[in-house]
Amino acid sequence: MAVALDTVSTVKEISGDGVVSLSHTAGGTTDRAIFVVTCGYGIGSGPATTGVTYGGTAMTNLWDVHTAVLSNLFSSGWYLPIGSSLTGAQTVIATLAASPLVQFLFVLSLTGVDQTTPVGTPQTQGPNGSATSATVTIASVGANDLVVDNVVVDYSVTTPTFTAGADQTDQASLSDGSVVGVASHLSTQPGSAGGVMSWSWAGGTTIDSYLGGIVFKAAAAGAGKPYAIYAQQQ
């Protein structure tokens, strides 16, 4: 079976305490997984993300990048295979090591994900300074897999216009210019497209950016259906 996007939830918080939450309901019945990105702009530096939970269960970190060299951007990616558990509305909580000026939270649920080896090796690029594009290449991507990425950009003057790379679908975006200029987009790409994830943006003045990506691996045919297999054998 192929990995498929289920649904996406987002929220942003301005000048908060570094703890952001939302409610997310994952569809599907088996072979499910959750992907979370929290990103934004810190105070004095881009803070580390100390943890993310889904329905009270700790998620596994994929990347956590932050800097105070060029700007105060941060980006952190997390995942959790949930199989047939944690159904219905679940609270997602992302906690930072320090209070930021702007914090975004993206939550994406997927179906058809291998529960033993749900993800490949994450790739990140950044900090990228004034560059107006970024690219990561995800390795070992199968035709039935799904690649997910997130880009976050620190800008000034006006919000840039973002363009996703080949075969990518822009699934969600958040931005804020009330405190600082920061914008973020999340996209998906079918595994058959190869796993090169890229973004470009134009307009405003780019100060810094991060891009992170990961592949979710497809469950084998018939996975997640033990009852059906048992019934056929009787």
pLDDT digits (tens, 9 = 90+) for 155-214: 998 999 999 999 999 999 999 998 899 999 999 999 999 999 999 999 989 999 999 999
Which tokens belong to 37?
Answer: 């990105």
pLDDT digits (tens, 9 = 90+) for 33-92: 999 999 999 998 899 999 999 999 999 999 999 987 778 999 999 999 999 999 999 999
pLDDT digits (tens, 9 = 90+) for 87-132: 999 999 999 999 999 999 999 999 999 999 999 999 999 999 999 9
* Phi/psi of residue 159, nearest 5 degrees: -70, 130
User: Which amino acid, 210?
Assistant: Y
As to burial, measured by CB atoms within 10 angstroms (0-12 exposed, 13-18 middle, 19+ buried), residue 77 is buried
User: CA-CA distance, 2 to 5, in Å (whole number)?
Assistant: 10
Residue 43's CB: how many other CB atoms inside 10 A?
A: 14
DSSP letter (8 states) at residue 218: B
